[in-house]
């Protein structure tokens, strides 16, 4: 059987494909045959052994058949291949062979093959005609078979003596094979004859045992893994072929026919076993039924279709009662998941059974039970997890669930539950409560998943998607009904209620509640459309969300449901612009801390929530919050992937097909997507509003950090453009606007951000477009004002606020407040002159040249430090380790030199800082600095980080000194102890000492630590 996989390429020959068709059918057909034969219990006991053997043997015979075919057409390479498979298969069935002896047909093929090969070998001319591959295969095969046959010499000899005896047995097999092959021909006549033949050949027991292939499959599947895969494949191909026109009808008929008759016989057999002792009369009836079935099988095909065979499910005159129906149900269910079971037919059968039970008024209990199983088998219909339900199946499924819910609602005496054991079910008696095993919640959840799957697999831009989406109403309706059902007392546990609530939430959270929105806006919405107002009588989604989520928060015990509920709740809040609630909930939940431990779907939900939160913040004008919320998603550049809205192409090499499938399953359906362009635009605009004033304020700051890398990236891309045309895309618009803002030109900026193009692309997507636009204009004005002041304050001696007001079209108080804020934050060195309403610049900002000089000074500081390190290293290595005694004096001298240099440098630095003139506060600092060298350094650090390096230097020096001091005698150590203090902190000195504690060169140890720190520091600064 594994041959199928070995040769499973496109270039399969026709022959092999026909063989494929045969094999799957075979078990089905034998099934029918067998059912007639099993008449006593003895047979049952033998089942397992025989089936295993037969399964093996059939495998072998199949292989042998293909070999023979190949021999006929002289396909040597095929022969070789098959022969190798045969050997392997034979080896597999060794246990059976040991028990039963080598099967004669096997010997026969070996002998025949050898003869045939020898014959070919002798035929020189024929050999010449062969193509290269074949010739090669021939020689290898010949060698192989020679070797192989050595083991079976005696058997082969005996076979050659008496070929007939063995051939007889073989005949049988061939017959069966021809039977099964004719089955695949799709011709009704053939099928008929086949059926006949079956009944004719029912007598010989060896054939009978064949049947069990299907039944025994489960047992043998453990030993032969291939088979299962094989099964699913065939069934798929079956269902596929059903769709074919022309053939399809006859095929389907064929199929139905078989199953029905199968059902018949199966039933009858069962009953026979069951009631054998009771009555002979019954047996006769049953035989009649059998005959009838047979007749039908041979006769008109029309009858088979529809309900006709299904009525036959029960023998004529059988009293149809609950137990019988349950038996029947179990029978049908036993075939579930087995090879060769036709799932579509099974569903039909179950439906029929439901009808029967309805007709016979067997009560609700049994109906519920059957419904459960119908739904389950509907879900089973697709064996593949990735495949989605077909539309008709889906409709059927929805109908079924609806009906089931109807029953449950109408009859509150029915109890359902997963925990009700099969034998404690009560389906029959009306007097007591029905107890049925099964979980409606699971079914509904599964339905919901199927719905998601259908949506995932539909092209979002097609009409089909819209049609499918219309089903969402039904899905929601079902969930609502289920919710109502479970909410009833004693119907559902809190856990179940939580689960169904979550389902409800999942269908609610991403929908914008337009009705509530309109209501909130006021009356004008109602006057517009009266009927709409009536429609919107229903609860606001906000209330629903609130109620459901709070229930889950209170009652849920699994963390996952609560997490999801929180996220959905936040999302819903954010979607409806309830920013503070959303933010508080997010902060209170502490989800940011541990979301990385959650499973991917929850993480996707989290990302979606964060994005929605960011967009909400943006709408509310909280630019900074918006930026922070969106930063994580946007900075990675994989927003699409993180939000589960598509796969990135570049990952193709990194993941295999399996992973891709999993990822595809995680995708959010299209109707729940968040617009990525909107997201990016919101992010970029927020970044622009933050970054441009920041850039203007820190134009000369060497340590300036980027707020948003992505924004800078966009700017750079914009700069690289050789030719600057009018902006086209959203990004270009933002870049152009940023450039305008950099110049303080808010009008241009405004026109770039808010215009027709951007409106249609982005802004119109917000529910409150006008508010957002107004907010944006205002923000642009304010930030432009700030930028303007940062950039051009050095040009002005003073500037009237009136002018500013006019320039930026802001109200005077706003201008006043912005400027005041800047002054307080020490961003702007100016003061306000109240009577004249002017801003008087203090002109204390360093000019660009001064800035440059400061930068240079800083860099030189770094250089000096680095240089010192070179020297320290020398000191450490040579002085500390090799000949520290001799070098002591030199070192001391050097130390002095270093200190001097450092001191002067520091003073210089101090001077700069004092010149830095950042207002009175710093002046005071400067004064403080002047107190002493050691503190000065510390002060430098405090002020602007420039001194950090110095502190680092101190650290470094301490380390050295610690090491050096430790080895070079006490007197020196003491002297340097002072230095250590100057360096700024006992702790650092300690660190250095620790580093130098080892024997291996104190300087080295201390140096290492210092160096590392220094390097990192520098690195950060450059960044």
Partner 1 sequence: MASRATLDSPVKQIQIEGLVVLKMIKHYQEEGQGTEVVQGVLLGLVVEDRLEITNCFPFPQHTEDDADFDEVQYQMEMMRSLRHVNIDHLHVGWYQSTYYGSFVSRALLDSQFSYQHAIEESVVLIYDPIKTAQGSLSLKAYRLTPKLMEICKEKDFSAEGLKKAMIGFEHMFEEVPIVIKNSHLINVLMWELEEKSTVADKHELLNLSSSNHLEKSLQLLMDRVDDMSQDIVKYNTYSRNLSKQQQQKHQYTQRRQQENAQRQTRGEPPLPEEDISKMFKPPQPPPRMDTLLIAGQINNYCQNVKEFTSQNLGKLFLAEALQGHNS
CB of 1021 vs partner 1, minimal distance in Å: 11
**Chain residues 362-381 in contact with partner 1, contact rule CB under 8 A:** none
660 or 915, CB closer to partner 1?
915
Judged by beta carbon, residue 813 or residue 911, the one nearer partner 1 is 911
Q: Which stretch binds partner 1 (CB under 8 A): 288-296, 495-503, 640-648, 998-1006?
A: 998-1006
Distance CA 96, CA 953 (A): 84
Q: Read off the tokens for 100.
A: 């039963």
Q: Smallest gap, in angstroms, from Cβ of residue 966 to partner 1?
A: 18
**Minimum distance, C-beta of residue 743 to partner 1, in the bound complex (Å):** 21
Q: Which stretch binds partner 1 (CB under 8 A): 95-103, 266-274, 664-672, 1008-1016?
A: 1008-1016
Sign of torsion, CA 332 338 342 344? positive
Give the footprint of partner 1 on residues 562-581 (CB under 8 A). Answer: none
* Residue 413: HSE in the Cβ half-sphere, 13 Å Cα cutoff: 13
Among residues 87 and 853, whose Cβ is nearest to partner 1? 853
Token readout for 454 is: 């259908």
**Measured from the CB of residue 386, what is the shortest distance to partner 1 in angstroms?**
54
CA distances from 697 to 804, 856, 922 (A): 18, 19, 18
Closer CB to partner 1, 895 or 1004, in the complex? 1004
Q: Which of 761, 853, 905, 994 binds partner 1 (CB under 8 A)?
A: 853
Cβ closest to partner 1, residue 788 vs residue 1007: 1007
Under rule CB under 8 A, residue 3 binds partner 1: no
- β strands within 726-885, DSSP E: 798-800, 830-833, 838-841
Residue in the block written with tokens 């409806």: 576
Does position 860 bind partner 1 by CB under 8 A?
yes
State the minimum distance, in angstroms, from the CB of residue 947 to partner 1.
18
Give the nearest distance from C-beta 878 to partner 1 in angstroms. Answer: 9
- Smallest separation (angstroms) from partner 1 to the CB of 957: 15
**Is the distance from CB of 964 to CB of 885 less than 8 angstroms?**
no
- Closest CB to partner 1 among residues 419, 999: 999
Neighbours of 107 (CB within 10 A): 20
Pick 512 or 1015: Cβ nearer partner 1: 1015
From candidates 863, 901, 924, 998, binder to partner 1 by CB under 8 A: 863
Q: Is residue 795 a contact residue for partner 1 (CB under 8 A)?
A: no
Strand partners, 831: 840
Q: Closer to partner 1 at the Cβ: 593 or 1022?
A: 1022
User: Nearest approach, Cβ of 993 to partner 1 (angstroms)?
Assistant: 20
CA geometry: angle 154, 157, 160, nearest 5 deg:
150
Tell me whether residue 882 or residue 975 sits nearer to partner 1 (CB atom).
882
Q: CB count, 10 Å around CB of 780? A: 25
Of residues 584 and 915, the one with the C-beta less far from partner 1: 915
DSSP classification of residue 832: E
Long-range interactions of 486-492: CB distance < 8 A, separation 24+? 486/441, 488/412, 492/441
CB 801 within 8 A of CB 815: yes
Shortest Å distance, C-beta 859 to partner 1:
5
Helix ranges restricted to H, 9-131: 14-37, 41-72, 76-92, 94-100, 104-122, 124-129
Contacts of 720 (CB under 8 A, 6+ apart): none
340: alpha, beta or left? (left if phi > 0; alpha if psi -120 to 50): left
Minimum CB–partner distance for residue 1009 and partner 1 (Å): 12
Q: Which is nearer to partner 1, 947 or 1001 (CB)?
A: 1001
The CA distance from 378 to 371, in Å, is 10
In the complex, the smallest distance separating the C-beta of residue 745 from partner 1, rounded to whole angstroms, is: 25
- 901 contacts partner 1 (rule: CB under 8 A): no
What letter does residue 1003 receive in the DSSP assignment? H
* Residue 832 β-bridge partners: 839
Residues 6+ apart with CB under 8 A from 819: 789, 801, 804, 828, 830, 832, 839
Rounded to 10°, the helix 884-916/948-967 angle is 160
Q: How far is the CB of 633 from partner 1 (least distance, A)?
A: 35
In the bound complex, what is the minimum distance in angstroms from residue 1000's beta carbon to partner 1?
A: 6
Longest dimension (CA), the chain: 131
| Identified binder of partner 1 from the candidate list 1001, 1005, 1009, 1013, rule CB under 8 A | 1001
In this chain, which of 856, 903, 924, 975 binds partner 1, going by CB under 8 A?
A: 856
Cβ 847 to partner 1 shortest distance, Å: 7
Restricted to residues 866-885, the positions that interact with partner 1 (CB under 8 A) are: 866-867, 869-870, 873-874, 877, 881
Residue 647 touches partner 1, criterion: CB under 8 A: no
If one asks whether residue 859 binds partner 1 (CB under 8 A), the answer comes out as: yes
838-841 and 798-800 beta bridge pairing: antiparallel
Q: How many CA atoms lie within 13 A of 935 on its CB side?
A: 8
Task: Provide the minimum distance between the beta carbon of 1001 and partner 1 in the complex, in angstroms, as a whole number.
Answer: 8
Q: Does 894 bind partner 1 (CB under 8 A)?
A: no
Which one of the spans 123-131, 772-780, 831-839, 852-860 is the region binding partner 1 (CB under 8 A)? 852-860
User: In the complex, what is the shortest distance from the CB of residue 994 to partner 1, in angstroms, rounded to a whole number?
Assistant: 19
Contact indicator for 427, 366 with CB cutoff of 8 Å: yes
1015 makes contact with partner 1 (CB under 8 A)? yes
- Give the residue with the Cβ less far from partner 1, 669 or 1001: 1001
* Nearest Cα to Cα of residue 371 among 453, 426, 439, 308: 439
Residue 213 or 957: the one with the smaller Cβ distance to partner 1 is 957
**Segment contacting partner 1 by CB under 8 A, of 116-124, 365-373, 685-693, 1011-1019:** 1011-1019
List 611, 955, 1007, 1021, residue binding partner 1 (CB under 8 A)? 1007
Candidates 613-621, 712-720, 740-748, 1003-1011; binding stretch for partner 1 (CB under 8 A): 1003-1011
Two structure tokens written together for 221: 């599947």
Residue that the structure tokens 């021939």 belong to: 138
Nearest of 807, 787, 811, 789 to residue 798 by alpha carbon? 789
Residue 855 within binding range of partner 1, rule CB under 8 A = yes
Binders of partner 1 among 810-849, rule CB under 8 A?
Answer: 847-849
| Interatomic CA distance for residues 1002 and 679, integer angstroms | 56
CA 656 to chain centre: 13
Give the Cα separation of 529 and 523 in Å (integer).
Answer: 11
In the range 677-706, which residues lie near partner 1 by CB under 8 A? none
Total residues contacting partner 1 (rule CB under 8 A)?
27
Burial 606-619 (b: 16+ CB within 10 A, else e): bbbbbbbbbbbbbb
- Least distance between partner 1 and beta carbon 665 (Å): 50
Write down the least CB distance from residue 862 to partner 1, Å: 6
Q: Which is nearer to partner 1, 47 or 704 (CB)?
A: 704
Which tokens hold the place of 458? 């539909």
Which region, left, alpha or beta, applies to residue 667 given φ > 0 means left and ψ of -120 to 50 means alpha?
A: beta
> Any contact of residue 862 with partner 1 (CB under 8 A)?
yes
Nearer Cβ to partner 1 (309/861):
861
According to CB under 8 A, which residues from 76 to 95 bind partner 1? Answer: none
Is-contact 170 104, C-beta < 8 A? yes
Residues in contact with partner 1 by CB under 8 A are: 847-849, 852-853, 855-856, 859-860, 862-863, 866-867, 869-870, 873-874, 877, 881, 1000-1001, 1004, 1007-1008, 1011, 1015, 1018
């Amino acid at each position: 059987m594994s041959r199928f996989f070995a040769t499973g390429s496109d270039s399969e020959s026709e022959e092999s494909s026909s063989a494929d068709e045969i094999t799957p059918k075979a078990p089905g057909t034998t099934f029918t045959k067998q059912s007639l034969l099993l008449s006593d219990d003895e047979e049952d006991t033998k089942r397992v052994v025989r089936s295993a053997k037969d399964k093996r043997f059939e495998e072998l015979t199949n292989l042998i058949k293909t070999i023979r075919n190949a021999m006929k057409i002289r396909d040597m390479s095929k022969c070789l291949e098959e022969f190798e498979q045969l050997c392997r298969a034979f080896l597999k069935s060794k246990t059976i062979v040991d028990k039963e002896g080598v099967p004669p047909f096997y010997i026969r093929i070996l002998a025949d093959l050898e003869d045939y090969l020898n014959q070919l070998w002798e035929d020189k001319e024929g050999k010449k005609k062969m193509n290269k591959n074949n010739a090669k295969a021939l020689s290898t095969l010949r060698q192989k078979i020679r070797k192989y046959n050595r083991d079976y010499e005696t058997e082969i000899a005996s076979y050659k003596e008496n070929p007939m005896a063995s051939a007889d047995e073989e005949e049988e097999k061939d017959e069966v094979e021809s039977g099964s092959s004719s089955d695949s021909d799709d011709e009704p006549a053939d099928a008929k004859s086949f059926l006949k033949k079956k009944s004719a050949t029912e007598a010989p027991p060896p054939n009978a045992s064949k049947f069990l292939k299907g039944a025994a499959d489960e047992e043998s599947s453990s030993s032969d893994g291939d088979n299962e895969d094989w099964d699913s494949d065939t069934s798929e191909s079956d269902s596929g072929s059903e769709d074919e026109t022309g053939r399809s009808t006859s095929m389907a008929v064929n199929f139905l026919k078989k199953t029905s008759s199968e059902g018949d016989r199966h039933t009858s057999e069962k009953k026979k076993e069951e009631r054998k002792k009771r009555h002979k009369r019954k047996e006769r009836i049953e035989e009649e039924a059998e005959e009838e079935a047979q007749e039908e099988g041979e006769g008109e095909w029309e009858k088979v279709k529809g309900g006709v065979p299904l009525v036959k499910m029960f023998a004529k005159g059988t009293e149809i009662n609950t137990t019988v129906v349950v038996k029947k149900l179990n029978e049908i269910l036993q075939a579930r998941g087995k090879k060769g079971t036709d799932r579509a037919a099974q569903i039909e059968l179950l439906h029929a059974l439901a009808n029967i039970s309805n007709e016979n008024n067997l009560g609700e209990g049994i109906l519920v039970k059957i419904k459960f199983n119908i739904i389950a088998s509907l879900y089973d219909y697709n064996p593949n997890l990735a495949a989605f339900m077909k539309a008709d199946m889906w409709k059927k499924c929805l109908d079924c669930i609806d009906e089931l819910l109807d029953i449950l609602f109408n009859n509150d005496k029915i109890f359902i539950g997963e925990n009700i054991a099969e034998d404690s079910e009560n389906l029959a008696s009306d007097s007591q409560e029905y107890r049925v095993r099964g979980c409606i919640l699971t079914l509904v959840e599964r339905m919901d998943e199927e719905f998601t799957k259908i949506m995932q697999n539909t092209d979002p831009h097609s009409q089909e998607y819209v049609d499918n989406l219309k089903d969402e109403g039904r899905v929601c309706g079902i969930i609502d009904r289920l919710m109502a059902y479970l909410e009833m007392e004693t119907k559902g546990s809190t856990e179940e209620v939580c689960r169904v609530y979550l389902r409800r939430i999942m269908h609610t959270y991403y929908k914008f509640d337009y009705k509530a929105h309109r209501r909130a806006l006021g009356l004008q919405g109602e006057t517009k459309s009266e009927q709409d107002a009536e429609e919107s009588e229903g609860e606001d989604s906000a209330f629903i969300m609130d109620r459901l989520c709070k229930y889950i928060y209170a009652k849920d015990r699994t963390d996952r449901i609560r997490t999801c509920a929180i996220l959905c709740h936040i999302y819903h809040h954010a979607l409806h612009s309830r920013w503070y609630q959303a933010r508080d909930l997010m902060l209170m939940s502490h989800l940011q801390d541990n979301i990385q431990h959650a499973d991917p779907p929850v993480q996707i939900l989290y990302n979606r929530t964060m994005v929605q939160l960011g967009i909400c913040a943006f709408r509310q004008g909280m630019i900074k919050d918006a930026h922070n919320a969106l930063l994580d998603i946007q900075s990675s550049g994989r927003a699409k992937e993180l939000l589960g809205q598509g796969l990135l192409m570049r990952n193709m090499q990194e993941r295999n097909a399996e992973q891709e499938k999993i990822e595809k399953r995680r995708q959010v359906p299209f109707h729940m997507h968040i617009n990525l362009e909107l997201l990016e635009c919101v992010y970029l605009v927020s970044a622009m509003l933050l970054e441009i004033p920041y850039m203007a304020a820190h134009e000369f700051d060497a340590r300036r950090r980027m707020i948003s890398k992505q924004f800078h990236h966009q700017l750079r891309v914009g700069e690289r453009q050789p030719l600057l045309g009018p902006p086209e895309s959203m990004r270009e618009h933002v870049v152009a606007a940023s450039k305008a803002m950099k110049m303080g030109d808010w009008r241009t900026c405004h026109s770039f951000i808010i215009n027709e193009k951007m409106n249609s692309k982005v802004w119109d997507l917000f529910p409150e477009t006008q508010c957002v636009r107004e907010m944006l204009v205002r923000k642009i004005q304010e930030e432009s004002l700030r930028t303007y002041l940062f950039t051009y304050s050095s040009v002005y001696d003073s500037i009237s606020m009136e002018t500013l007001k006019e320039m930026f079209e802001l109200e005077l108080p706003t201008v006043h407040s912005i400027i005041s804020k800047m002054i307080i934050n020490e961003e702007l060195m100016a003061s306000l002159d109240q009577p004249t309403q002017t801003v008087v610049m203090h002109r204390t900002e360093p000019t660009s040249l001064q800035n440059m000089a400061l930068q240079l000074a800083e860099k030189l500081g770094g250089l000096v430090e680095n240089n010192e390190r070179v020297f320290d290293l020398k000191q450490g290595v040579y002085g500390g380790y090799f000949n520290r005694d001799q070098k002591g004096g030199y070192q001391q001298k050097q130390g002095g030199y270093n200190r001097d240099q450092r001191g002067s440098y520091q003073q210089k630095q101090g001077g700069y800082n004092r010149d830095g003139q950042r207002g009175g506060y710093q002046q005071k600092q400067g004064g403080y600095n002047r107190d002493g060298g050691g503190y000065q350094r510390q002060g430098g650090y405090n002020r602007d980080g420039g001194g950090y390096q110095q502190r680092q230097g101190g650290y470094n020096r301490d380390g050295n000194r610690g090491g050096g001091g430790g080895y070079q005698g006490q007197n020196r150590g003491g002297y340097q102890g002072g230095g250590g203090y100057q360096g700024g902190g006992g702790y650092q000195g300690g660190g250095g000492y620790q580093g130098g504690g080892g024997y291996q060169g104190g300087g080295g140890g201390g140096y290492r630590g210092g160096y590392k720190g220094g390097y990192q520091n520098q690195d950060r600064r450059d960044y």
